[in-house]
Amino acid sequence: MKSGTFLYFAYGSNMSAPRLLAADRTPSAQWMGAARVAGYRLVFDKVGRDGSGKADCERTGAPTDVVHGALFRIALGDRPALDRAEGLGNGYDAFEIGVDTDSGVASALTYLATRKDAALRPFTWYMHHVLHGARQCGLPPAYIAAIERVTAVRDLDAVRETQELSIYSKR
């Protein structure tokens, strides 16, 4: 691995390059390819700061359960901003996880939920980030279809929704 960098496995909204590359997140992020981790399933039960459900890579131990995502190489200097964006210590904890890639197994940082509520639903704008990233990464069509079936709710804060989606209109 290049000195001064780390590998990051994104499985939720951070799969979307426009979101992850934002100046207040990780502008140094370089997409390395699609990755997956067996024994986990994708759920949207992480308690978000905005009261909605966010993505979680939940351990099941079942080898047939697989979470697909994106592998990024990020400068160590961007780690504090990523930790803040992910709410490290307040809903997510950071873990090293072994991910499968087309070129072998890699050890990558990821965030797993610590505060969960299965009754929560993600906002539609959040699901837009997740689906944009999943398509951008070329994740399996059946996996993307499963994400599309997740029930999402409209954010009543129209300003937040507009701000979140504005990254897709920037050039």
pLDDT value for 1 = 55
Nearest-10 Cα torsion for 144, 114, 29, 51? 70
Find the helix packing angle between 124-136 and 141-148, rounded to 10°.
Answer: 180
Q: Is the model's pLDDT at 9 over the cut of 70? A: yes
User: What does the alpha-carbon distance between residue 120 and residue 133 come to, in Å, rounded to a whole number?
Assistant: 22
Question: What CATH code is assigned to 5-168?
Answer: 3.10.490.10
pLDDT value for 2 = 67
User: What does the alpha-carbon distance between residue 142 and residue 121 come to, in Å, rounded to a whole number?
Assistant: 21
Domain boundaries, the chain: 5-168
C-alpha dist (Å) from residue 150 to 130, 135, 153: 11, 16, 10
Of 15, 57, 43, nearest to 120 by C-alpha is 43
What residues are paired with 42 via a beta bridge?
57
Rounded to the nearest integer, the mean pLDDT of the chain is 95
The count of C-alpha atoms lying within 13 angstroms of the C-alpha of 56, restricted to the half-sphere facing its C-beta, is 26
Q: Is 107 in contact with 97 (CB distance < 8 Å)?
A: yes
Q: Kindly indicate the confidence band of residue 133, based on its pLDDT and cuts at 50, 70 and 90.
A: very high
User: What does the alpha-carbon distance between residue 112 and residue 92 come to, in Å, rounded to a whole number?
Assistant: 5
pLDDT value for 87 = 87
Q: Is 94 in contact with 109 (CB distance < 8 Å)?
A: yes
Q: Is the model's pLDDT at 24 over the cut of 90? A: no
Q: Is the model's pLDDT at 171 over the cut of 70? A: no
Look at 13-17, 24-28, 96-100, 139-143 and tell me which has the smallest mean pLDDT: 24-28
Q: Is 59 helix (H, G, I), strand (E, B) or coil?
A: strand
What are the two backbone dihedrals, phi and then psi, of residue 109, each rounded to the nearest 5 degrees? -75, 140
Question: What tokens does 21 get?
Answer: 């590359």
